[in-house]
């Protein structure tokens, strides 16, 4: 266990110093053990955790150490355009970004900081645009307000993967006291020209020429609003109606329980605004604007589309707007299998990937025109591939608006397009089952039980095959998880979340439509998914 007093002696932050001094004075051994009995692990997701004092929290000492480890690893790289650093509007984000710049400058590396809080995809774009050796984004994405994080990108503009993460982690472990690190002040603050370059790139995506669409938009108190509004204007779309209560960046996210557009209730204010203004669709970004959620009118109410439904629609959109047999569609092994059917139909390439865009953008061979994951992340490309080698909630919002405008011009809706796909390929219906726990050990135990003794059947469907993903599957690297195939084209994947204390399960059923009304088939699919959820929860024992 790290000595709290040694930590206190090198901590430059008065807030966490005061927190730690109070805990020491109170003799709160449980709180001290929680902060100092473990440390945040640096991995392929970088760092992410609760703000506070100690090595098991996000704070200035943790960030200074991470920056010093990154600097040490970068000194082994050929000289390039330095490191680009971005940050969102969360608590301490700007401070962590500037600390990173100071450490890199002190190590003799060129550090360039984005001009203000900006979306994560802007940072990812800038790494390649500026020919940087690496990038750092200070963000916790859609995590609760008390969290922050630290994502590292390499020179290809994508998040790091093994073994690079382990190499940086080892370099972090070798860092001594942070109050002895050489710090510099010769970093560069970039201008708005980098944002302009990003806007030029995303508005050059395949967007067609239909523009008549009314959008209600929420950035969920994050940093997406200004960039998205500029992108819509530049692409020729009408200005979206913005949810006033969620328009400005606010690190406390006061109007939502979790600032995640996947969470129930997160889109309620946007749907209310859409009803009031007669909008055609709702678009939401998460706080760092790398994800995009969509809701559409459905009879008297509104329906939030799943990430898989949006992914299927965007796949057909880009395939109809591009050409060439070298085109590539990529989605993860936990996402819908519909995209592989669309690739076969259009005569283009398809590749599966592990979860996470660090894998999606590196999977398969060919020209990536769409990479997506069911968790509302989309990466679109045109003739030259994707301008952002990561998920991009702004580019995805433009493409969804273009698709909705084209459907509207033809007298149709996004729901009509989904029905078309179901008639051609069968209804691919997916649903998540997530279990949030206080003790991560419960997650490990549940997955181990499933791996060791999988059920013979779930919800009346026989289990026909079990894949232990730690052994690798589909030619992919090993990952922690279990995949079950069931009779009738159903599938279940169970894995621990890489960023939150959650067990995440992904369910899919595929039902033929034939001449039946698609609405009736959807109702049967919902019932099947509900039954699978119940059976799986029982099998997991959580």
- Nearest residue to 213 (alpha-carbon basis) of 313, 297, 121, 312: 297
What whole-number distance in Å separates Cα of residue 293 and Cα of residue 264?
12
Q: How far apart are the first and last CA of the chain?
A: 31
Residue 112 has φ and ψ, to the nearest 5°, of -130, 125
What whole-number distance in Å separates Cα of residue 269 and Cα of residue 256?
10
What whole-number distance in Å separates Cα of residue 146 and Cα of residue 468?
35
If DSSP codes are grouped into helix, strand and coil, which group holds residue 114? coil
User: Which residue carries 């660090």 as its tokens?
Assistant: 358
Other beta carbons within 10 Å of 376: 27
User: Which residue carries 């819908």 as its tokens?
Assistant: 336
Other beta carbons within 10 Å of 345: 13
Q: Which two tokens stand for residue 63?
A: 């960030």
What whole-number distance in Å separates Cα of residue 309 and Cα of residue 64?
41
Q: What is the DSSP string of 76-103?
A: TSPP-S-EEEEE-SSTTHHHHHHHHHHH
Q: What is the DSSP string of 240-289?
A: PEE-GGGSS--TT-TT-SSS-TTSTTTTHHHHHHHHHHT-SEEEEE-TTS
> Mind telling me the catalytic residues?
141
Give residue 5's Cα distance to chain centre. 37
What whole-number distance in Å separates Cα of residue 141 and Cα of residue 278?
30
Q: What is the DSSP string of 479-501?
A: -S-EEEEEGGGEEEEEEE-SSSS
What whole-number distance in Å separates Cα of residue 328 and Cα of residue 311?
14
Give residue 378's Cα distance to chain centre. 9
């Amino acid at each position: 266990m790290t000595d709290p007093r040694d930590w206190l002696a090198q901590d430059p932050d008065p807030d966490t110093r005061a927190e730690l001094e109070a805990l020491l004075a109170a003799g709160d051994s449980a709180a001290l053990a929680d902060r100092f009995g473990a440390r945040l692990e640096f991995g392929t997701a970088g760092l992410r955790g609760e703000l506070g004092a100690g090595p098991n929290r996000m704070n200035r000492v943790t960030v200074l150490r991470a920056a010093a480890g990154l600097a040490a690893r970068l000194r082994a790289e050929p000289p390039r355009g330095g490191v680009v650093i971005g940050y969102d509007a969360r608590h301490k984000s700007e401070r962590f970004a500037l600390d990173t710049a100071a450490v890199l400058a002190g190590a003799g590396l060129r550090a360039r900081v984005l001009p203000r809080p900006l979306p994560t995809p802007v940072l990812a774009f800038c790494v390649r645009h500026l020919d940087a050796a690496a990038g750092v984004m200070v963000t916790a994405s859609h995590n609760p307000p008390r969290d922050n994080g630290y994502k590292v990108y390499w020179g290809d503009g994508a998040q790091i993967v093994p073994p690079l993460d382990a190499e940086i982690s080892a370099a972090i472990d070798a860092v001594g006291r942070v109050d002895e690190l050489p710090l510099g002040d010769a970093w560069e603050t970039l201008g708005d020209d980098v944002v302009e370059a990003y806007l030029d790139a995303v508005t050059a995506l395949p967007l067609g020429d239909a523009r008549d669409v009314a959008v209600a938009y929420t950035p969920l108190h994050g940093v997406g609003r200004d960039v998205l509004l500029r992108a819509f204007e530049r692409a020729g779309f009408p200005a979206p109606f913005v949810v006033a209560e969620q328009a400005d960046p606010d690190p406390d996210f006061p109007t939502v329980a979790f600032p995640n557009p996947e969470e129930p209730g997160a889109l309620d204010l946007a749907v209310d605004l859409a009803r009031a203004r007669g909008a055609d669709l709702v678009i939401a970004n998460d706080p760092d604007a790398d994800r995009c959620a969509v809701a559409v009118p459905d009879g008297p109410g509104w329906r939030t589309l799943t990430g898989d439904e949006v992914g299927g629609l965007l796949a057909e959109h880009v395939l109809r707007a591009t050409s060439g047999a070298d085109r590539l569609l990529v989605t993860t092994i936990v996402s819908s299998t519909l995209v592989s059917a669309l690739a076969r139909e259009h005569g283009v390439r398809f590749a599966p990937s592990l979860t996470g865009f660090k894998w999606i953008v590196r999977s398969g061979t060919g020209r990536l025109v769409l990479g997506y994951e069911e968790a509302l992340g989309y990466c679109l490309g045109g003739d030259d591939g994707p301008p952002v080698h990561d998920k991009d909630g702004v580019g995805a919002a433009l493409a969804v608006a273009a698709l909705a405008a084209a459907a509207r011009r033809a007298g149709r809706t996004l729901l009509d397009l989904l029905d078309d796909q179901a008639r051609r390929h069968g209804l691919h219906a997916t649903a998540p089952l997530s279990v949030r726990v206080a003790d991560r050990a419960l997650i490990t135990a549940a997955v181990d039980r499933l791996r060791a003794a999988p059920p013979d059947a779930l919800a009346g469907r026989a289990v026909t095959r079990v894949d232990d993903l730690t052994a690798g599957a589909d030619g992919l690297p090993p990952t922690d998880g279990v995949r079950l195939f069931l009779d009738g084209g159903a599938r279940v994947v169970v894995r621990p979340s890489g960023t939150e204390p959650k067990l995440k399960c992904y369910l899919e059923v595929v039902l033929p439509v034939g001449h039946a009304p698609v609405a009736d088939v959807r109702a049967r699919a919902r019932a099947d998914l509900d039954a699978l959820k119940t059976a799986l929860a029982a099998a997991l024992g959580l």
